[in-house]
């Protein structure tokens, strides 16, 4: 896929969205698109009738019916991020929840609520209230463009809901949308004052507990100078309390919140997208990297992380490998038999690091939901995705969050520096000296309905040939080795250990093509060029 000539540069006026039109469409357009849960909730744009008040009201009512069916009588922790549609959707959801008499807990001072904070609050409540289990709704489309909205449900385990749960909610929500008058609601002002609506401070408990998952003292004593770019996201007003509580030399590089994200450099395809794993979206932090020992960034709901080390944005796979190697050496109080969770489109370097430490890999399809139970029970010490989302256990081996946590991952990068005297990219260089280096890339391309249908029916036997880039296909599979769950696409390994995988995005109408070469950059380019021909036979 070609790189847009404006990638990494400020967005020109024609790239900005009309916020007034977007908000008007949210309230006035009837839903044109059905509720569809991807890897992390339902997402879409109000402009297209894909995320409107009708969607949010229906999903909220469906969630209430689901939790009643399951007997969850504790509160719903309700949070939202900084996207333009998030606060309106938050108000819609609260109005429905209050009308249905559901106990809801919201953040104090109308503060934003990052995804890992909601996961943390759910788990903390349920640790001491097993007879009144809590769950959560998070209003966020993650790193998606400014015109998108999103809503996702986290059950009492604190992590992303599994497929059986989202299928039920999705089906019921679409039934409700066909009969919108069935949704009860009250005004937002009345919902705020309802006896069932409780206000709690989410910030201080989360900030205080960070010292139980990352060695904050060693970061403080190191004097490490950290630059943090929230990319206008929901954690923007968490960093200062973190710095003050733990005595960190941390500067919020850009404290601006703008629902249109007009300050963002354009991503590789020329869109505004708050993807902290993209060097184009992270261009502003990279430019200021010389002012700090370490630069860190996050997406709008703070479930992803970006690490700028040595003046460059690290490949997410490289940082995952470095973080895993560090944790395997510096967490002596973790359970004895824990495994390391990774998605099957993550780098093979991770497998080598884990095997070298005498540990076992748990390899799953894309989606953090596959790591939830393992993190909750301590059988997984770490779970991570190639898209720069991960979480890990507390220092004592107890669960931290069961959703991705951008805070703990970026602060772990600082702990790694403070404890080893090496920057994360230097730790990764040491890994390549022991285990070799690879070339890895993910390409995203637009996906039409015809090709999406083909991807949905892919099987190993449907490949159009058994050779690619001069190599023989060694194995093709559509189920993950760790849990035999469908990967929603296909992964193909080649005779030299190189591989590629293809799947539709769970968040945008795009196809994701992943490839890793053990034979250098030229081989990687050949694999990326020839792989689609093996899939689509054209």
3-state secondary structure 260-297: CCCCCEECCCCCCCCCCCCCCCCHHHHHCHHHCCEEEE
Residues 307, 369 contacting (CB under 8 angstroms) = no
Cross-strand pairs, 250? 226
DSSP category for residue 7: B
Pairing state of beta strands 104-107 and 76-80? parallel
Q: Which residues of 346-384 are buried (b: 16+ CB within 10 A; e: fewer)?
A: bbbbbbbbbeeeebebbbbbbbbbbbbebbbebebbbbb
Q: How far apart are CA 78 and CA 95, in angstroms?
A: 12
Which stretch of DSSP H or E encloses residue 324?
A: helix 316-330
- Of 142, 268, 309, 517, which residue is the catalytic one? 142
SS3 256: coil
Q: How far apart are CA 22 and CA 409, in angstroms?
A: 34
Residues 292, 249 contacting (CB under 8 angstroms) = no
Q: How many other β-carbons are positioned within 10 Å of the β-carbon of residue 405? A: 30
Q: Under 8 Å CB-to-CB from 323, ≥6 apart: which residues? A: 382, 384, 390, 409, 412, 413, 416, 424
Please give the torsion angle defined by the CA atoms of residues 439, 471, 499 and 491, in that order, rounded to the nearest 10 degrees.
160
Q: How far apart are CA 380 and CA 126, in angstroms?
A: 20
Residues 394, 281 contacting (CB under 8 angstroms) = no
SS3 175: helix
Pick from 309, 276, 44, 304: which is nearest to 177 by CA? 44
Could you give the C-alpha distances from 184 to 61, 64, 87, 95, 187, in angstroms and in order?
8, 12, 19, 8, 11
Measured in residues, the chain has a length of 538
Confirm whether 142 is a catalytic residue: yes
Please give the torsion angle defined by the CA atoms of residues 519, 522, 527 and 528, in that order, rounded to the nearest 10 degrees.
130
Q: How many other β-carbons are positioned within 10 Å of the β-carbon of residue 256? A: 12
Q: How far apart are CA 235 and CA 113, in angstroms?
A: 7
> Which residues are the active-site residues?
142
């Amino acid at each position: 896929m070609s790189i847009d000539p404006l990638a990494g540069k400020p967005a020109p006026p024609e790239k900005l969205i009309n916020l007034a039109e977007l908000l008007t469409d949210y309230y006035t357009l009837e839903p044109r698109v059905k509720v569809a849960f991807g890897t992390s909730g339902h997402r879409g744009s109000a402009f297209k009738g894909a995320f409107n008040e009708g969607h949010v009201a229906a999903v909220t009512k469906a969630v209430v019916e689901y939790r009643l069916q399951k007997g969850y009588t504790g509160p719903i922790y309700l949070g939202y991020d900084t996207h333009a549609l998030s606060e309106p959707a938050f108000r819609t959801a609260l109005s429905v929840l209050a009308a249905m008499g559901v106990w809801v807990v919201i953040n104090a001072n109308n503060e934003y609520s990052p995804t890992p904070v909601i996961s943390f609050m759910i788990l903390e409540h349920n640790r001491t209230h097993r007879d009144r289990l809590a769950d959560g709704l998070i209003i966020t489309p993650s790193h998606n463009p400014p015109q998108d909205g999103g809503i996702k449900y986290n059950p009492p385990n604190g992590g992303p809901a599994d497929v059986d749960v989202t299928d039920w909610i999705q089906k019921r929500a679409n039934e409700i949308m066909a009969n919108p008058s069935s949704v009860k609601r009250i005004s937002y002002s009345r919902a705020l004052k309802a006896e069932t609506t409780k206000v709690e401070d989410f910030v201080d408990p989360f900030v205080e507990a960070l010292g139980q998952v990352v060695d904050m003292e060693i970061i403080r004593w190191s004097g490490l100078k950290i630059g943090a770019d929230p990319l206008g996201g929901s954690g923007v007003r968490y960093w200062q309390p973190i710095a003050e509580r733990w005595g960190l030399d941390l500067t919020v590089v850009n404290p601006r919140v703008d629902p249109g994200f007009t300050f963002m450099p354009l991503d590789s395809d020329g869109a505004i997208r708050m993807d902290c794993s993209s060097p184009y979206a992270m261009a502003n932090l990279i430019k200021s990297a010389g002012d700090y020992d370490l630069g860190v960034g996050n997406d709008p709901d703070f479930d992803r992380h970006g690490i700028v080390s040595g003046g460059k944005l690290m490949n997410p796979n490289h940082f995952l490998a470095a973080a895993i190697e560090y944790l395997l050496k510096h967490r002596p109080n973790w359970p004895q038999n824990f495994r390391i969770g990774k998605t099957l489109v993550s780098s093979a370097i991770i497998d080598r690091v884990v095997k070298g430490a005498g540990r076992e890999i748990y390899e799953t399809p894309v989606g953090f939901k596959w790591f939830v139970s393992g993190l909750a029970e301590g059988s997984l010490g770490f779970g991570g995705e190639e898209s720069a989302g991960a979480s890990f256990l507390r220092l004592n081996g107890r669960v931290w969050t069961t959703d991705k946590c951008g805070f703990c991952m970026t602060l772990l990068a600082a702990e790694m520096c403070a404890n080893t005297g090496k920057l994360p990219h230097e730790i990764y260089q040491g890994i390549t000296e022991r285990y070799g280096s690879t070339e890895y890339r993910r390409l995203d391309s637009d996906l039409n309905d015809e090709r999406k249908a083909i991807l949905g029916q892919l099987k190993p036997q449907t490949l159009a040939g058994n050779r690619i880039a001069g190599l023989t296909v060694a194995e093709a599979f559509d189920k993950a080795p760790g849990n035999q769950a469908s990967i929603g696409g296909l992964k193909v390994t080649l005779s030299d250990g190189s591989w590629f995988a293809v799947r539709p995005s769970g968040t945008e109408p795009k196809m994701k093509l992943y490839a890793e070469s053990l034979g250098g950059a030229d081989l990687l380019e050949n694999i990326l060029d020839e792989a689609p021909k093996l899939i689509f036979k054209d």
